[in-house]
């Protein structure tokens, strides 16, 4: 009998103290909304900080002329790849330091490895000619020790040899 009374007392206290289902739902929504906003703001701030650090580092790097022809990859979106096939790659855009044989990286692996702000959809194969000006660096925000190059001149559209969709 004591157990039954204590359960009734607890249920009665819960009904008085706890908010109704409608109030609880709106409280949960508000808490979720607040948490999402703060995480989004923090991520935007961190991403902006990383991109700024990368830009400043690229500007401070020395320009080297390539000693021989070099083939590199560029991970990007389909829309950007279409534009680059028509107009070429704008100065300051990032490309991998070297190419490797085999299948392209998955979008998630490419994003993590090269510190990309969004998942790429395609991989462009780009042939840079001997004497082309580039700035070699290490990737900021990606895997440790991974290299990248940026060009100080527009890369002509004819240099984009192949575009492969990522899976």
Digit-coded pLDDT (tens) for 29-41: 665 566 556 655 6
Residue 22 has pLDDT above 50, yes or no: no
Identify the pLDDT of residue 59: 87
Q: What count of residues does the chain have? A: 167
HEC string of the chain? CHHHHHHHHHHHHHHHHCCCHHHHHHHHHHHHHHHHHHHHHHHHHHHHHHHHHHHHHHHHCCCEECCCCEEEEEEECHHHHHHHHHHCECCCCEEECCCCCCCCCCHHHHHHHHCCCCCCCEEEEEEECCCCEEEEEECCCCCCCCEEEEECCCECHHHEEEEEECC
- Is pLDDT of 4 > 60? yes
Q: What is the pLDDT of residue 30?
A: 62
Q: With 80 as the cut, is the pLDDT of residue 80 above it? A: yes
């Amino acid at each position: 009998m004591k157990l039954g009374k204590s359960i009734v007392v607890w249920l009665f206290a819960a009904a008085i103290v706890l908010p109704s289902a409608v109030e609880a739902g709106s409280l949960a929504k508000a808490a979720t909304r607040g948490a999402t906003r703060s995480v989004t703001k923090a991520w935007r701030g961190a991403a902006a900080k990383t991109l700024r650090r990368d830009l400043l580092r690229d500007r401070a790097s020395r320009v080297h002329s390539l000693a021989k022809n070099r083939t590199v990859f560029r991970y990007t979106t389909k829309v950007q790849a279409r534009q680059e096939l028509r107009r070429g790659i704008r100065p300051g855009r990032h490309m991998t330091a070297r190419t490797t044989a085999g299948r392209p990286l998955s979008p998630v692996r490419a994003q993590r490895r090269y510190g990309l702000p969004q998942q790429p959809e395609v991989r462009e194969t780009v042939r840079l000619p001997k004497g082309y000006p580039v700035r070699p660096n290490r990737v900021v925000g990606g895997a440790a020790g991974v290299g990248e190059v940026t060009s100080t001149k527009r890369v002509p559209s004819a240099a984009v040899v192949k575009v492969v969709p990522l899976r």
